[in-house]
Amino acid sequence: MILIRLAMAAALAVTGISHAYLYVHGYQHIPTIGTAFVVQASVSFALAVLILIGGPAWLSWAAAALAGGALGAFVLSRTVGLFGFSEQGWQPSPHAAISVFAELVAVGLWAIYVIGLRRTGAPQT
């Protein structure tokens, strides 16, 4: 379980860094999307730190929700658009691919974490 927490914290840090980098390098000027990027990055960093130091299980749920939301936003921005913003494929490269990978890892680790807790019967708080 400790390894899963470490890996989840690392995945959150990676997606947070990626969003923060894009925010600093231009995305801050895109209406609504800029704000969403800074919120995603700052909440990712906060959850990464708290999960790393042994916070309660609901932090993992919050992390999965955040990562899942970011993945959903990625899909919308490549299809119907999100708040009037759309991009193509894996642009901006390599940040889009790195973020998606990290977010998939975070969601996957959360699933493993929850299944593990259920098997051991440990409380999820």
Partner 1 sequence: MTDAPHTMNRRQLIRHSAWFGAAIGLAVAGGEVISHVAGTADAARIQGRPTLRFAQVSDSHIGFLGKANPNVANSFNHAIDRINNLGYTPDFVIHTGDLTHLATPGQFDQVKQMMTGLRTPHVFTVPGEHDSIDDGGQKYRSAFGAGTRGDGWYSFDIAGVHVIALVNTLNLKKLGHLGVDQLEFVAKDVAALPSDTPIIVFSHIPLFAMYPDWGWGTDDAAQALSYLRRFSSVTCLNGHVHQLFSKTEGNVTFHSGTTTAYPLPAPGDGPAPKPVTLPAGKLHDALGIREVSYTRGQSTLALKEKVLQ
Residues in contact with partner 1 by CB under 8 A are 16, 20, 23-26, 28-31, 33, 38-39, 41-43, 45-47, 49-50, 55-56, 58-59, 62, 81, 84-88, 91-92, 117-118, 121, 123-125
Tell me how far apart the alpha carbons of residues 104 and 64 are, in angstroms, rounded to a whole number. 9
Tell me how far apart the alpha carbons of residues 44 and 19 are, in angstroms, rounded to a whole number. 10
Residue (14 or 33) nearer to partner 1, CB: 33
In whole angstroms, the minimum distance from the beta carbon of 115 to partner 1 comes to: 11
Query: Do 18 and 24 touch, CB atoms closer than 8 A?
Result: no
- DSSP letter at 91 equals P
In whole angstroms, the minimum distance from the beta carbon of 55 to partner 1 comes to: 5
